[in-house]
Structure 1
C-alpha cells in the first residue's frame, strides 16, 4: 500500500490516492511517516512535505503584565495580619480615611483613641472577611501608607518585568511580585 500527503488539505491518504482522486497535488510518503503523523495536526515544510504543526508558544506582552499587576492591586492588601479589599473604590476609601486620620493626628488625636473620627462611635474598618477591625488615627494613617506602598511596589515589579528582554512565561508566579 502507498501513502500520500496533500499540502492543500493538510491530509494523509492511504491507498491509491492520486492528485486526480483528491483534486489536489499529493506527495508520496513512507508508511512509517504516515504512522508517525496520523492523528496529528499537520503543516507543510518549504518542500511541500508534511510536518507536525507546532502552535506558536504564548509570549506575554506588556498588556499581560499590566493585567496581572492590576489583578494583584485589586486582589486585597494585608495589613497587620488582616486582609482588606483593595479595589479602586476601596483604595479611594482607604486614602480618604488616612487623610482624615492624619488630620486627627495633627489635631492631637492620641494613640489608642478609637473615637478620633466620631466621639460617639469607635472607628473600625471592615476586613475582607467582613469583620470589624478597630483602628486609631495613627493606625489608619499607617494603613493608608501601606496600601499606597503596596500598589507602588506592584507597579514597579510590573515595570521590571516589562523591562526584561523577554517577559518570563511564568510572569504570574509570586516569585516576580512583592
Structure 2
C-alpha cells in the first residue's frame, strides 16, 4: 500500500503508525515541509542532499540532509516499515510521475492519504486553517491522476494541530 503523508513530518509519522497497525507492506511518499516561528512552507528539493534517485523517484536515506543539517525526514524514514520517497513541491508534474510510478509498483494499488489533525478536510471559510498548501496539492495531484477512487483519506487525531475543530472535521466526513 502506498501511504502519502499529506503535509509535514507529523503526517509521515502518522502514516508509519497506520501502516504498522494494518500490517501491510508499505511505501511512503511525502513533500518536505518546514515550520518556523515566522512561516511555514515547502522545502525546495534543491536544498536537500543525500537522496537516492531510483526508477521510482527520490528515496530518503540515513544521509538525507536539508541545507547541510540533519533532518527529521531521515530519522523518521529509518523507523518506517518501507521505503520513503520525497516529492518535489516545485515540480508537480514530477511529483505526479513519482506517485504514478510508486502506485504502479505497489502490489495492491491502493493509496492512503494520511493527515494528522484533519486540515486535509479544510475549506477556505475555516478560520483556523493556516497551512493547507501541501494537503490541497496532494489531493489535486491524485485527482489529476484519476487515483482518488483507489484512495482513502485518513485523519489521525482530529483537531490535534489546532487548525480545525472536531466539528469542522466531522462536517466534512462522508457519513
| TM-score (normalizing by structure 1) | 0.20
| TM-score (normalizing by structure 2) | 0.20
Bigger strand fraction: 2
Does 1 or 2 have the higher relative contact order (CA < 8 Å, sep 6+)?
2
